[in-house]
Chain A
Amino acid sequence: MSFSNWIFLVTVLFLFLTIFVNEGWKGSMAALGVLVNAGLSSFIAIKVFCGQPCQENIYGGYIFGNIPVRVDALAAWFILLTNFTLLTGILYGRRYMKQYKGQRANLSLHFVSYIVIHFSMIGIFCVQNFLAFLCVWEMMAICSFLLVIFEHHKIETIKAGINYLVQAHIGIVFLMIGFIWIHFHTGSYDFNAITQYSSAVTHAVSFVLFSCFFIGFGIKAGFVPFHTWLPYAHPAAPAHISGIMSGVIIKLGIFGILRMLLLIKGNYLVMGYTVLIISVISGVYGVMLAIVQHNVKKLLAYHSIENIGIIGIGIGLGAIGIGMHNSYLAFAGFAGALLHTLNHSLFKSLLFYCAGTVYQATHTMDIEHLGGLIRKMPHTAFLFLVAALAICGLPPFNGFISEFLIYSGLFHAIHLDKLSLAMNMIVSICGLVLIGGLALLCFTKAFGVIFLGTERHPHQAQVQEAEFSKLFPKYLVAVLIILIGIVPQFFVGVIEKPLALFTSGLPADASVSAFISTLQKISISVAGLILLSALTFLVRKKITASKNISSAPTWGCGYVAPTPKLQYTANSFVRSYRKLVKPVLMMNKKETEMKGIFPEPVHTVTHPYDRMEALLIDTPIRYLKGFMRRFRFLQNGNPQFYILYGVIFIFIAIVIPLLLNVAHYIIQLFKQI
């Protein structure tokens, strides 16, 4: 039996098991299902990495015809990283959902959707038939919608869900346009038809085709200006779902773009520049908005946009490399993009899991209400710190490695060609540096305000550390984060196979192999950094051990009655930044003025909003609503009228062809005269 059948069978089996077992077992059953599916697909993926490409055909009946299932190295890479994140997601989520006891049907739906979304994602990576692809894509979209709206009794959750569903389908429309276009010209449903078609047409046409797919996949990935669903969907979903959504589901868009770059033949330079420019804007804009957010999950959601920007910079650089026949550029760009895809899926899911743990302990996601959690939740704080350092791209963690790859590509490209390339590169470097710096500002704020200092707000419940089974998946992720940071050469070695797909047509470059030795040196420096820190700390400990150590309250510069309220808040931490970027961002600030001789307490509330969203989504919708309002009289709630509309419609449908025939006849008549 072929592997696709096996995966299908396993999925169906575990679907039924999950539905019919007791409430307490549902999570474990789903975890088992995901584990078996992950094992099966990882086995195939590893076989592909070992040089045995997997290809089979499924007969899909009269409509689908033959569905080719091909697993190449790119698909295998994405399968592996998806499996890991989905596995840690369900291990964590199994415990996370314990607090929703009693919602039997809801839990069934949730875990079933989880199994199905895993299945559909593997499908997306492997299936290479337009119709089948759209089916699994739709399946994924609907499942993620169901996963997001778990708490559907909350109005904002359902709103976010609908927003997500609508935007996901706008993306699907663009994909469909692309697929129909290809099918119209070639008559084939196979993905290879894209290559066949695009190599036959001019570069301009294939660029339009690429843009069509780029928009479709870009909405899923969250490139600016297609990012507006992300900040709503992520905070609304349960923590493990936010984790996998940000970790792997938005990466489906990245996968799609990479796949299309492999398939579409055209002017790679133009494509590369386009992706690069959009990505730099996405990255900087995403992190700029992230800083002013005070809801932890919303902050993390904006960081996903930023990281998609970084991945996009890598992809753009790689495409430029292909366009210039420079294998070093293509290598650095695509390796950076592929590795950052993995890295982001790791640290972002870890951050979301930690945020979820904090939420369950304190019942709030507002940063301003948290503080001092490091003493009550030391493990969560440590894990959050690791992930925060990684997302800022600091050595010795994994985020640095992928950013370093991209940096080295950008610096390498700077002197290669004419002015335009150099200017583009320096702007991209500037963008990447700004992203790094802003991320540092953002995560010092997030970590500092959530976990450090003292409690800003009394919590209703006793805040305590999560149990082992919730911490275990998080530690699993953290170990991988540190491993990638310490031995990057191994992981870059692993992605050589998918990279070869992109760079195979290019002349071999000696500097690519030199790059691995550079990574070895990074590995040594990173180890040195860790050892040196440890050594300094030990020396310090040794010396201070014999000294007189005492503890006292924080020095208040002469002020002797400190309260937690005196602490710097998240809002004040970013105040000077906020003032600086005022022209770009949209801050709705509500301020009460001081009045009278004995003024009442004064409050200032700021609500950051997304200017792009206001411009590109809200304004058109407002006009559309205004236009549609003119037709409101049609909807009067009277069934007779609706039947009348139906009759009128049928009448028009019959009459128009008749009238056309008459017109045609008369014209013919005139011509004869």
Chain B
Amino acid sequence: MPVTSLLLIIITSLFFTGIIIRTKSILSGRKGPGIFQPLKDIWRLFRKGAVYSKTTSFVFQVAPSVYFSSVLVAVLFIPFGDQRGLISFNGDFVFFAYTLALGKFFMIISSLDTGSSFEGMGASREALYSLLVEPAFFILMGSFALLTGHTSFFEIFSTLHFGSYISYAVGTLAAFVIVIIAMVENSRMPVDDPKTHLELTMIHEVMILDNSGFDLGLIFYTTNLKFAMYGAIIANFFLTPGHELYYSIPIFIATQALFAIGVGIIESFMARFRMNHNPQFIFTLTSISLLIFLGVLLMLGKII
């Protein structure tokens, strides 16, 4: 059933941030909030009133909704092992990436709409970093298109199979790249620290300084959804065809949980980079994905 993936992603998205926060609190020796705390926060935000800046226009009102629905539409493309996503066609990952970009576009202009210097700063960084991360994703998908001869998420993941040693290296690298892309896109640790309270060093959080109430809740939930979406892509590397549902669902959930715990661990033991070193770091992703591309070329015997 094509709905499986959507349902699973939505279910896992509910717990995702909770697991991250729990991991962080355990690792730092605190008691910490429960797993459901972020959900409760979002629920409370949904029921709150809002304060809108006087300088804002309709763009500010529309943007969170567009952001949420862009991510939700992107989720529809993610397959689940050998089951299609709700929408699937050749080259669907192009649509996937560009839909996410649409949401980003709206978030960026909505933060410029407030006319705040901090939010402009966040918007500028978000635009630049998401631009830098994009080539890595496309080269990665290009490598898989080269490897499998297909150009849609579902076909790529359902025909992907690892055989030789070099292919395991490629698979590991690819998972690594996706993890880092997810971290950058969700403004997490090595690039951005959402928990810092110095606006000058934040990216995503500083963009939404003026959002409140339902909008803020929507934005927070969208972040969870986005995390779970990337987690689902990583899980798909392990859901090779032939697995029955009672194997693949636990694998999927385990991958998501591991991913969330991994994010928590990274955030606990890693310091944030200096802001002006971020572009170099993000750009290394592109070189890693080029490495993957070369690896695939080697596997297919196109070199030599």
Contacts and interface: CB of A to CB of B under 8 A. Distances in A.
Interface in A177-236: none
B214 A394 contact: no
A12 interface: no
Contact of B89 (A374, A411, A430, A518): A518
A433 B285 CA distance: 15
A554 interface: yes
A404 B97 CA distance: 11
B187 to A, nearest CB: 15
Interface string B88-105: 111100110011011011
Given A529-B99, A548-B49, A552-B53, A448 B66 contact: no
A181 B204 CA distance: 60
Given A408-B151, A415-B146, A547 B139 contact: no
A6 B139 CA distance: 54
A576 interface: yes
B51 interface: yes
A99 interface: no
Contacts of A374: 57-59, 113
A661 interface: no
A375 to B, nearest CB: 6
Task: Tell me whether chain B's interface is mostly helix, strand or loop, or mixed.
Answer: helix
A552 B57 CA distance: 13
Task: Tell me whether chain A's interface is mostly helix, strand or loop, or mixed.
Answer: helix
Contacts of A394: 98-99, 101-102, 105
Nearest to B72: A532
Interface in A475-522: 514-515, 517-518, 521-522
A514 B90 CA distance: 9
B94 A555 contact: no
Contacts of A532: 69, 72-73
B273 to A, nearest CB: 13
Given A426-B139, A436-B134, A555-B116, 16 more contacts: A393-B98, A395-B102, A403-B94, A408-B91, A414-B142, A415-B146, A422-B146, A528-B87, A533-B69, A547-B47, A550-B50, A550-B51, A567-B115, A567-B120, A568-B124, A575-B124
A195 to B, nearest CB: 35
Interface of B: 46-59, 61-62, 64-66, 68-70, 72-73, 76, 87-91, 94-95, 98-99, 101-102, 104-105, 108-109, 112-121, 123-125, 127-128, 130-132, 134-135, 138-139, 141-142, 145-147, 149, 151, 199, 209-210, 213-215, 218, 275-276, 279, 286, 290, 293, 297, 300, 302-303
Interface of A: 371-372, 374-375, 378, 381, 385, 389, 392-395, 400, 403-404, 407-408, 411-412, 414-415, 418-419, 422, 425-426, 429-430, 433-434, 436-438, 440-441, 443-445, 447-449, 452-454, 514-515, 517-518, 521-522, 524-525, 528-529, 532-533, 535-537, 540, 543-544, 547-557, 562, 564, 566-568, 572-577, 579-580
Contact of B52 (A445, A517, A529, A549): A549
B123 to A, nearest CB: 7
Given A419-B297, A447-B109, A395 B95 contact: yes
A566 B213 contact: no
A416 to B, nearest CB: 9
Contact of B135 (A385, A433, A552): A433
Contacts of B115: 371-372, 452-454, 554, 562, 564, 566-567
A185 to B, nearest CB: 41
A555 B53 contact: yes
Given A453-B55, A548-B49, A434 B131 contact: yes
